Amino acid sequence: MNPNKRLLSLDVLRGITVAGMILVNNTGKCGYNYAVFAHAKWDGFSPADLVFPMFMFLMGISTYISLCKYNFQYRSAIAKIIKRSLLLILIGLVIEWFLTAIDSANYFDLSQLRLMGVMQRLGICYGITALLAVKIPHKWFMPLAIVLLAAYFIFQLFGNGFEKSADNIIGMIDSAILGSNHMYLQGRQFVDPEGILSTIPAVSQVMIGFVCGKIIIDIKDNDCRMLNLFLIGTTLLFAGYLLSYACPLNKRLWSPSFVLLTCGIAALALALLLYIIDVKQNKKWFSFFEVFGANPLVIYVFSCIVGGLLVHWHIHTAVFNNLFNPLFGNYFGSFMYGVFFLLFNGLLGYVLLKRKIYIKL
């Protein structure tokens, strides 16, 4: 496969993931939400918990594909890696600042600015994975990812790291380094879902995606490519499920079992779409998600900013109370608001795709 050629199945899965992230972030804003779109409160697993780790897995694949253009040469790629990583982190901080500022009406008060977040985690994990990719042999990636997960598990095991309490070592480190005011919800949930220590297993997530990216590029036969993805996906899925008996599935802690399970699901989903779209050429049913997958970061950032403004101006409640609730009731009406907001964001993606504009960092 030519690394410069876009893989439609990858764009579609990325689009499904971004669409899922937008739905999860907005369906519950009207006060009602189906369980499928709500994150697990602590231990456990919900379909909503899959979207962000799947996006990180796909970013690992994209990292391999993008670095192929530099032949993984340190001197050629280092400037690009540092620039992209810092830009992702900066965008995340600007989003957090903007959403905090419009609520407080004070654009210069940084006392409650959340320092970590979705974009910041993407930037940090991308930077670490990409730097490793140009410095160490790629055959070490999967063993190193497992070692990082094992080390994190041991740290949790001996640091009360599975408990929803102030004694949790994960939350204690977040609080000590970031400060409670700079954590998610000012630390009221004990740990930051995108905190410092939980970034370790998140790096493993991207590294596993990187390994799958290598499979997609290096293996030329589609049947062999899909078989490898199915084998990796099935192995990771069962490993994550079995490990969950000793290490609970937990998105907020980004537990090792959670990493393995979500990577397994992502690899299996990609293998299935690769077969349907790129082998069988059944493309027309997935064009909707291609709209979101061609420019995922732009659409996600746009949805965060616009969604925050709609909440700040109480437009979301006005639309829900006067349109969706009378027509569809509480829960389905809240879901339809999320769908409406998703389609609104899709208009941006549609315009960019039709004009063949692909905005990258």
Cα 205 from Cα 184, distance rounded (Å)? 22
Cα 301 from Cα 307, distance rounded (Å)? 10
The number of beta carbons lying within 10 Å of the beta carbon of residue 151 is 14
Cα 20 from Cα 177, distance rounded (Å)? 32
Structure tokens at 143: 């063993």
212 Cβ contact partners less than 8 Å away, ≥ 6 residues apart: 57, 60, 61, 229, 232, 267, 270
Sign of CA dihedral 122, 124, 125, 130: positive
Helical ranges in the chain per DSSP H: 8-26, 51-68, 74-104, 118-133, 141-157, 169-178, 199-218, 222-243, 256-273, 287-293, 296-312, 315-319, 325-328, 330-354
Domain positions in the chain:
1-38+283-361, 45-280
Cα 303 from Cα 345, distance rounded (Å)? 6
pLDDT (tens, 9 = 90+) of the chain, 361 residues, equals 444 456 788 888 999 999 999 999 888 888 888 888 888 888 899 999 999 999 999 999 999 998 988 888 888 889 999 999 999 999 999 998 988 888 777 778 788 888 898 999 999 999 999 999 999 999 999 999 999 999 999 999 988 889 888 888 998 998 889 888 888 877 777 888 898 999 999 999 999 999 999 998 888 777 888 889 999 999 999 999 999 999 999 999 999 999 999 999 999 999 999 888 877 877 777 788 888 888 888 999 999 999 888 888 888 899 999 999 898 989 999 999 999 999 999 999 888 888 888 887 7
Q: Cα–chain-centroid distance for residue 125?
A: 11
In the chain, the N- to C-terminal Cα span, in Å, equals 23
**What is the per-residue pLDDT across 265-313, written as a single tens digit (0 to 9) for each?**
999 999 999 888 877 877 777 788 888 888 888 999 999 999 888 888 8
Structure tokens at 134: 């140009």
pTM value is 0.91
Cα 148 from Cα 352, distance rounded (Å)? 39
Cα 18 from Cα 38, distance rounded (Å)? 16
**What is the per-residue pLDDT across 88-123, written as a single tens digit (0 to 9) for each?**
999 999 998 988 888 777 778 788 888 898 999 999
What values do phi and psi take at 75, rounded to 5?
-65, -35
DSSP type of residue 30: T
Taking each helix axis from N to C end, the angle separating 296-312 and 330-354, rounded to the nearest 10 degrees, works out to 140
What pLDDT shows up at residue 248?
93
Cα 334 from Cα 24, distance rounded (Å)? 11
What pLDDT shows up at residue 6?
62
What pLDDT shows up at residue 4?
45
Structure tokens at 125: 């994990």
What pLDDT shows up at residue 5?
54
DSSP characters over 188-243: TTSS-TT-STTHHHHHHHHHHHHHHHHHHHH---HHHHHHHHHHHHHHHHHHHHHH
Instruction: For residue 62, give the amino acid letter.
Output: S
What pLDDT shows up at residue 121?
95
Instruction: For residue 120, give the amino acid letter.
Output: Q
DSSP characters over 54-66: HHHHHHHHHHHHH
**What is the per-residue pLDDT across 246-267, written as a single tens digit (0 to 9) for each?**
999 999 999 999 999 999 999 9
CA angle 218, 220, 226 (to 5 degrees): 90
Cα 353 from Cα 204, distance rounded (Å)? 31
Sign of CA dihedral 58, 61, 63, 65: negative
